């Protein structure tokens, strides 16, 4: 999985933080709090995110309302899986990753692995 571009990530941050569907103008307003960006640029990138299946949309009157199709956690998990796919030794890569975790994270990972092993849902 490829990492989102800078503007794609900013848009997805807005979408992930939203309580519901948003029109492009609202996404632009929220992004403009941190950076200057043109409405048409955001609209184009949101269409790209729709084609990439990161957001979905519905036409309401004359404007689309957009919402995230996948969570931030889904995105990060995909990046992690992609990173592991880059390694010729997944076990070594996982070992290095775990070595960088603090004890609380290791304990949580152990709990998640135990739940997955017993067939329980881990989310």
pTM of the model as a whole: 0.83
Helix H or strand E encompassing 104 = helix 103-117
Write the DSSP assignment of 33-61 as a string of letters.
Answer: TTS---HHHHHHHHHHHHHTTSEEEEEET
Per-residue pLDDT of the chain (123 residues; tens, 9 = 90+): 789 999 999 999 999 999 999 999 999 999 999 999 999 999 999 999 999 999 999 999 999 999 999 999 999 999 999 999 999 999 999 999 999 999 999 999 999 999 999 888 877
Segment 75-81 long-range contacts (CB within 8 Å, at least 24 positions apart): 75/1, 75/4, 75/12, 78/1, 79/1, 79/3, 81/1
């Amino acid at each position: 999985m490829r990492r989102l571009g800078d503007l794609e990530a900013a848009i997805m941050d807005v979408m992930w933080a939203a309580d519901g569907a948003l029109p492009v103008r609202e996404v632009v307003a929220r992004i403009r709090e941190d950076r200057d960006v043109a409405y048409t640029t955001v609209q184009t990138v949101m269409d790209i995110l729709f084609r990439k299946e990161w957001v979905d949309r519905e036409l309401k009157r004359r404007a689309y309302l957009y919402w995230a199709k996948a969570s931030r956690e889904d995105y990060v998990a995909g990046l992690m899986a992609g990173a592991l796919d880059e390694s010729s030794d997944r076990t070594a890569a996982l070992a290095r990753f775990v070595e960088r975790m603090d004890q609380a994270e290791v304990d949580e990972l152990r709990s998640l692995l135990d739940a997955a092993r017993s067939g329980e849902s881990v989310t």
